[in-house]
Amino acid sequence: LAPLAGEEEKITWLVDLLKKLGDAKILLICRTRELAEEIPEQLKSIVNINCGHFHEGMTLLQRDRSAAYFAEEEGARILVCSEIGSEGRNFQFAHHLVLFDLPDDPELLEQRIGRLDRIGQSETSNIHVPYVKGTHGEVLARWYHDGLNAFEHSLHGATEIMRELGGAPPARGMHEPALQAFIDVSKACCERVSKRLERGYDRLLELNSSRPDISKKRIEQIEAMDSDKVS
């Protein structure tokens, strides 16, 4: 998590991150097409870097080309995506994900992280979250990190958790100690739902892993087939 004093500092922070990470590929996801178009322009005005973008205003062919350019070794260092980039595309060759802003839905956050954290990922996925102190962005960052532990581990039962909580933290009026109280409730809810899901999984595994009556019949059939072949 990277707490900042103002929105204008996000681009400066991003430039510093690019310099720090050297040649590493970076996938950046933000909410809107407008931001996905604006961020590359701001970056190019500050630093000389190959930067691609990916949003719903582009044709499918344009998006395919942009994704391919990002995948090339000498292609784009950073691909800036609107929320559409969190669905369907796989970028497991990259190891750094910048969440330029955060969604209100934990399932959508999981989808974003899933662009990197999937089969074929050869390294730890590094998640970078810049947020402005005192804004709803800070509320969401702290809620996901401290309440749901969603940046460190896959969040199971997100729909059930959201139903029990009654939704994400409100956009307005969530200050200390109300925020801390909501985080504490979320943490307890997350643990409760996780245990409930584990019990269900264990019971399902138990029901399907040991069926001696069926197993005995299968063994007898196999033995009968072997006997027929011998004779």
CB atoms near residue 229 (< 10 Å)? 7
User: Sorting pLDDT into bands at 50, 70 and 90, what band is 220?
Assistant: low
Q: pLDDT (tens digit, 9 = 90+) per residue, 12-28?
A: 999 999 999 999 999 99
pLDDT at residue 49, as a whole number: 93
Q: Which amino acid is at 198?
A: E
How far does Cα 11 stand from its chain's mean position?
A: 21
pLDDT at residue 184, as a whole number: 96
Share of the chain above pLDDT 70, in %: 84
pLDDT at residue 207, as a whole number: 46
pLDDT beyond 50 at 69: yes
Distance CA 80, CA 18 (A): 13
Q: Is the dihedral of CA 220, 226, 229, 231 positive or negative?
A: negative
Q: pLDDT (tens digit, 9 = 90+) per residue, 129-165?
A: 999 999 999 999 999 999 999 999 888 888 999 999 9
Highest mean pLDDT among 187-196, 197-206, 211-220: 187-196
Distance CA 12, CA 6 (A): 11
pLDDT beyond 50 at 204: no
**Better pLDDT: 230 or 192:** 192
- The secondary structure of the chain, three-state, reads CEEECCCCHHHHHHHHHHHHHCCCCEEEECCCHHHHHHHHHHHHCCCCCCEEEECCCCCHHHHHHHHHHHHCCCCCCEEEECHHHHCCCCCCCCCEEEECCCCCCHHHHHHHHCCCCCCCCCCCCEEECEEECCCHHHHHHHHHHHHCCCCCCCCCCHHHHHHHHCCCCCCCCCCCCHHHHHHHHHHHHHHHHHHHHHHHHHHHHHHHHCCHHHHHHHHHHHHHHHHHHHC
Q: Give the predicted TM-score (pTM) of the model.
A: 0.82
Q: Which value, in Å, is the radius of gyration of the alpha carbons in the chain?
A: 23
pLDDT beyond 60 at 205: no
Share of the chain above pLDDT 90, in %: 67
User: Sorting pLDDT into bands at 50, 70 and 90, what band is 229?
Assistant: low
